[in-house]
Amino acid sequence: MTQIEEIITEYASRTKQLDSILQELTKEFCADKCFYRPYGCCGNNYSAGIPEEMLLLQEKEAKENGWNGKGKTSTKSTNNHCKYHTKKEGCRLKLYKPPICIGFLCADLRQNINKKYGTEGEYFNELMYKFRHSRLDIGSHEAEKLFSYIDASIEVGKKLLS
Ligand code: SF4
Ligand code: SF4
């Protein structure tokens, strides 16, 4: 296995858990209060900082989850959203969702988390901010830093939900 493949595997082993914590923490707010429905914050910049190896894994995962292999839709109202977005179920990716997607919490949502969970919520938002600005086309030293953000986010996220 190459170094980048090892990093992607380690990444995917954590994202599913963090993604399900985020679903719990954010689903009510995003479903009821989002100004950008139906696509929310799913713009088409999901590939920033993502190595080619992971882009291929994303396509594979999305196909397994029902993606038809097509790019953007042709209607005007929907031509600016990510090809992996579904109106009904949201994102088709769980394992290979990019940091920019998992870590993005809009200002309104961050405010809601701060209000609801106080200091722990603020800390969670900080971790998400750091995570969001991470890349995956990196070396092992930077990868350790990235994994530490994810591990800390999982730990704090679990506390918020308990
Ligand atoms: S994070 Fe904000 S912009 Fe994105 S779906 Fe939730 S409410 Fe909407
Ligand atoms: S990869 Fe998923 S979360 Fe990211 S923009 Fe696309 S649909 Fe949204």
Which residue segment(s) compose the domain that 9 sits in?
Answer: 3-161
Structure confidence at residue 37 (pLDDT): 78
Name the pTM for this structure.
0.88
The more confidently predicted of residues 100 and 46 is 100
Q: Is the pLDDT at 79 greater than 70, yes or no?
A: no
Asked if residue 62 lies in contact with residue 98, where contact means CB atoms within 8 angstroms, the answer is no
Indicate the number of domains in the chain: 1
Q: Which long-range contacts (CB under 8 A, 24 or more apart) does 19-22 make?
A: 19/94, 19/97, 19/102, 21/153, 21/154, 21/157, 21/158, 21/161, 22/102, 22/157
Confidence at residue 75, expressed as pLDDT on a 0 to 100 scale = 39
Q: Is the pLDDT of residue 124 over 90?
A: yes
**Mean pLDDT value across the chain:** 88
Query: Which ligand gives the minimal distance to the CA of 96?
Result: 2
- Residue 42 Cα: closest atom of ligand 1: 4
Q: State the Cα–Cα distance between residues 92 and 71, nearest whole angstrom.
A: 14
Q: Which of 24, 35, 40 is nearest to 101 (CA)?
A: 40
Q: How would residue 137 be classed by pLDDT, with cut points 50, 70 and 90?
A: confident
Residues with CB under 6 A from ligand 1: 26, 29-30, 33-34, 36, 40-41, 105-106, 108-109
Closest ligand 2 atom to Cα of 84: 7
Kindly state the average pLDDT of the residues 41-53: 80
Residues with CB under 6 A from ligand 2: 42, 46, 82, 84-85, 91, 93, 97, 101
